Amino acid sequence: MDTTKIKEKFNSLYGEDGVLYTSPGRINLIGEHTDYNGGFVLPGAVDKAMYCEIKPNGRDKVRAFALDLNEPTEFSLHEEDKPKEGWAKYIFGVCREMNKKGREISGFDIVISGDVPLGAGMSSSAALECAVGFALNDLFSLGFTRRELALIGQATEHNYVGVKCGIMDQFISCLGKKGSLIRLDCRSLEYEYVPFAPKGYKLVLINTCVEHNLAAGGEYNKRRESCERVVAEIAKKHPEVKLLRDATLDQLKEVKGKTDATDYIRSEFVIEEIQRLLDTCEALQKNDYETVGKKMYETHEGLSKKYSVSCPELDFLNEQAKKYGVTGSRVMGGGFGGCTINLVKEDKMDEFVKEASEAYEKEFHIKPKAYDVVIGDGARKL
Ligand code: GLA
């Protein structure tokens, strides 16, 4: 992204130059709604990111400006002085979480902007938290590791945004590496880089342009609560089960009838999805992309029918993918709108994107957007 406008705005608002930082959005190949259940995920950072130019101002206030919304705000760093603008809560939350860990941050000036599409399931919010976290850590020499910065971003979502998210988005935004996915164990936070350059295939996202908002209606948090209730029931007999990651399908079957039917079917999806990710990693090692694609379709089916986080627009794009011989396709991220991720043979890509987009527009009177996936680096100073 061209960052000239950020620099110009910063200078015109605050009369000097700051330092520019960035942190990316993400894709996730497979492993959805598994992170807060202690399972595995397989995300990669993308070349779309949030940017912030920032400089300490020697006062006790933060002066912030959201360039894409053309909106200024000012707040102090005390708990009671929470800003009212939604976007500013991410900045405020990161500062507060750092403060809770015993670090002192004084006032600063900041301009934010970015090209991660909002509400597209590509983690624009995590990208913002991580850009701000990385910047403050560097400018005020706070000594946090990238892993700790990811946890600070996640805590910001929990405590200042109200989404009880897992660790996937912030982790990949902080630790992403060009050309690689990360296979992350969300229980231990152990991870390994998995080089991803499938020969003859491409990843493409299609954005339904139906904006998802995970905080609205609390649907995301309700999914998490369903899983937690089932864990509590299983743990009565199997106290070693602390998360769905620890449970087997047989243990789940034992509580059938004792748990709410919706909770049950959601938990079944999660346990299956954790196994699907492991199977996908095995297929990746063998360069068996047909199996990877098959698993992606299975995930879509599960997210739609069992976990109930799809929507007619996403299901339609999934059907289109099947129609045009796309190798794998599924709803990506939290769901309820946003993008599908598609693994498609290079020679089928153009036809699929064109035909599916036209059919989609005809059906829903919304113009979808397609993005080629380029796996990029995590948070950094520019
Ligand atoms: C959102 C959350 C993540 C994860 C995904 C679903 O992106 O922020 O923690 O739960 O949904 O996989």
Does some domain include residue 322?
no
Q: How far apart are CA 54 and CA 72, in angstroms?
A: 14
SS3 185: strand
CA 270 to ligand 1 center in whole angstroms: 13
SS3 2: coil
Whole-number pLDDT of residue 177: 98
CB 29 within 8 A of CB 121: no
CB 359 within 8 A of CB 233: no
Does some domain include residue 85?
yes
Q: How far apart are CA 316 and CA 295, in angstroms?
A: 18
* Active-site residue, 169 included: yes
> For residue 163, what is the domain's CATH number?
3.30.230.10
SS3 string, 100-155, reads: HCCCCCCCEEEEEEECCCCCCCCCHHHHHHHHHHHHHHHHCCCCCCHHHHHHHHHH
Does some domain include residue 160?
yes
Does some domain include residue 382?
no
What is this structure's pTM? 0.97
Whole-number pLDDT of residue 215: 63
CA 118 to ligand 1 center in whole angstroms: 15
Does some domain include residue 375?
no
Q: How many domains does one find in the chain?
A: 1
Whole-number pLDDT of residue 240: 98
pLDDT digits (tens, 9 = 90+) for 368-379: 999 999 999 999
Whole-number pLDDT of residue 212: 75
CA 248 to ligand 1 center in whole angstroms: 22
The protein residue with its alpha carbon nearest to ligand 1, atom 8, reads: 165
Q: Which residues form the domain of 185?
A: 4-196
Residue spans of the chain under pLDDT 70: 214-216
Q: Which residues on adjacent β-strands are paired with residue 370?
A: 206
Mutate to test the pocket of ligand 1, among 28, 33, 158, 219 (most ligand atoms within 8 A of CB): 33
Does some domain include residue 256?
no
CB 184 within 8 A of CB 380: no
**Consecutive H or E run containing 254:** helix 249-254
Whole-number pLDDT of residue 216: 66
Does some domain include residue 40?
yes
Select from 27, 35, 26, 30 the least CA-distant residue to 224.
35
The protein residue with its alpha carbon nearest to ligand 1, atom 9, reads: 166
Select from 28, 111, 55 the least CA-distant residue to 340.
28
Whole-number pLDDT of residue 78: 93
Does some domain include residue 339?
no
Buried b (16+ CB within 10 A) or exposed e, 151-163: bbbbbbbeebbeb
Q: What torsion do the CA atoms of 329, 173, 180, 354 make, to the nearest 10 degrees?
A: 30
